Amino acid sequence: MPVNVLIVDDSKLARIVAGKALAALQPDWTKVEAGGGAQALDVVDQTPVDLALIDYNMNEMDGLELAGELRTRFPDMPIAIITANIQDEIVVRARAIGAAFVAKPVTSDGLEGFLSGAALRLRAARS
Amino acid sequence: MTGGVALGDLERDALTEIVNIGVSRAASNLRKMIGDHVILSVPSIDVVSQRRAARLITEREAADLIAVRQDFTGPFSGRALLIFPEANSLQLVRAVTQGELSPEEVIEIEHEALAETGNVILNSCLATMANLLKSSLAMTIPEVLRGSGAMLFEVDETSPSDGLVLFLYIDFAVRRLDIRGYIAMIMDLPALEMLRALLDDFIARVVGDDA
């Protein structure tokens, strides 16, 4: 099942770390990266994306705003907000827009729950 | 110490405990990033002048420093810093990229990797503290600074010079990689008053009627 993952973070290091954790869990999935919210919206205009991993703490548009925008365009897309800012308030806001919450630094263990849930949802949607 | 702003014994204990939990969370994240044990000191908490805070770091570190700075605002406001000797910088970047990058790429990514490392460390520390105090903090995007201790604690031009601050710092070290540094936090005095109220609420929650 081909799956294309959008990784959005203004830090290249963070994109490398998230990409590594993703590759360890789902070696066959492909990824496309964006360094910010505006670029991410350009990417989804041009490329089909199945799920999104989005950093919270970004300039211009924060991760929750971007997730809200993606949620409007893609009501069923699995989305995870990734951040070290683990304040209860951020977790609640992520849940309110139907996004999962993954703590930074991203590890395979931390990402596993979200990815397996997303894989099930994508498979169900495609069958 | 200045009487008007000093914390009571129990308040100081509570703050030390909250900082300990926050920094331990930050250390566990740093450990995940570099794959090695991170040793922490007990937090040191003092009400000092801004200049004294700068001197406390400068006296211990003659060399040039690098710091990642994040300002936070909310019921209490201030500045959090991840500080280490400049000589440690590339070593830290190599550690967090875990051998994924060539030496040239390490140099190229240095600034951004330090900002992201500081982001993970400081955010997790501040967010844990905010959660424990049942309050919410807004944090700025991390900024990387280079310079002396005096520069890192530069007094805001618009604020009265050399005001008192709550200064809090913790040493951290990764022995095998010869990396060491500090996590420091400074809070201004109006923020400290609010912090005291939140600490009292926290104490009431954890101690209950025995207080």
pLDDT in tens, A38-84: 999 999 999 999 999 999 988 889 999 999 999 999 999 999 999 88
Residue from B22, B45, B21, B47 nearest B137 by CA:
B22
Q: Which residue range is the domain that position A84 belongs to? A: 4-126
B68 interface with A at CB cutoff 8 Å:
no
Predicted local distance difference test score (pLDDT) of residue B161 = 54
> DSSP class of residue A78?
-
Confidence of residue B1 (pLDDT cuts 50, 70, 90): very low
**Is the confidence metric ipTM above 0.85 for this complex?**
no
In the predicted structure, residue B148 carries a pLDDT above the cut 90: no
Helix (H) or strand (E) holding B94: helix B89-97
In the predicted structure, residue B154 carries a pLDDT above the cut 90: no
Q: What is the pTM of this model?
A: 0.81
Residue of A nearest to B110 (CA): A13
User: Under an 8 Å CB criterion, which residues of A touch B?
Assistant: 10-14, 16-17, 20, 57-59, 83-90, 103-105, 107
B95 interface with A at CB cutoff 8 Å:
no
In the predicted structure, residue A113 carries a pLDDT above the cut 90: yes
Question: What is the CATH number for A113?
Answer: 3.40.50.2300
Question: Cβ of B127 and A20 within 8 Å?
Answer: no
> DSSP class of residue B34?
H
Domain borders along chain B are 3-205
In the predicted structure, residue B157 carries a pLDDT above the cut 50: no
To the nearest 10°, the Cα dihedral for A58, A64, A65, A71? Answer: 130
B60 or B27: whose pLDDT is higher? Answer: B27
In this structure, the number of other CB atoms found within 10 A of the CB of residue B165 comes to 26
Round the average pLDDT of chain B to a whole number and report it. 84
Q: Which fold has domain B3-205?
A: Chemotaxis protein chec (3.40.1550)
> What pLDDT digit, counting tens, does each position of B90-143 carry?
899 998 888 778 989 989 999 999 999 999 999 999 999 999 999 999 999 999
Predicted local distance difference test score (pLDDT) of residue B2 = 43
SS3 B165: strand
Which of B112, B121, B128 comes nearest A11 by C-beta? Answer: B112
In the predicted structure, residue A14 carries a pLDDT above the cut 70: yes
The pair of structure tokens assigned to B134 is: 């049942």
**Residue A17 with chain B: CB contacts under 8 Å:** 33
Round the average pLDDT of chain A to a whole number and report it. 94
Rounded distance between C-alpha atoms, residue A114 and residue A109, angstroms: 10
Question: Cβ of A11 and B119 within 8 Å?
Answer: yes
Question: Cβ of B131 and A107 within 8 Å?
Answer: no
Which residues are CB-neighbours of B145 under 8 A, at least 6 positions away? B66, B67, B68, B69, B151, B152
What is the total count of domains within chain A? 1
Predicted local distance difference test score (pLDDT) of residue B98 = 81
**Phi, psi angle pair for B67, to nearest 5°:** -135, 145
Predicted local distance difference test score (pLDDT) of residue A37 = 97
Question: Cβ of A85 and B139 within 8 Å?
Answer: yes
Question: Cβ of A87 and B131 within 8 Å?
Answer: yes
Which of A13, A83, A103 comes nearest B109 by C-beta? Answer: A13
SS3 A6: strand
DSSP per position, B35-91: TS--EEPPPEEEEEEHHHHHHHHHHH--S-EEEEEEEEESSS-EEEEEEEEGGGHHH
Predicted local distance difference test score (pLDDT) of residue B3 = 43
In this structure, the number of other CB atoms found within 10 A of the CB of residue A70 comes to 24
Residue of A nearest to B115 (CA): A11
Amino acid at B32: K
